[in-house]
Structure 1
Amino acid sequence: MAKPNYSFEKRQREIAKKKKQDEKLAKKQAAKAAANPPPPGQDGPAGQQGE
């Protein structure tokens, strides 16, 4: 019978955990960016400035 490769299994668990953390961080950053709109005058339409 083959011997289990615990190092490989542990590495796979670490990779999955890091991927999940990265996805969670990206989701948090996207939500924060959506909640904080850019300051006026930088991203708005050019025709409405100075009215």
Structure 2
Amino acid sequence: MKVLLLTGLGALFFAYYWDDNFDPGGRELPEAGRPQGLLHRGGHGLP
């Protein structure tokens, strides 16, 4: 049962954190790119 719990927490971590912040191409200037992270998903800046 602990294995299932840890697997579920790992999947949530991957889905909500790692996938938002991981860019295989790399970014030298993150502030020059598109909005990143969980705090920028509210649709601010959309026309």
Q: Normalising by structure 2, what TM-score? A: 0.41
Q: TM-score, normalised by structure 1?
A: 0.39
- Between 1 and 2, higher relative CO (CA 8 Å, sep ≥ 6) is seen in 2
* Higher Rg of the two aligned structures: 1
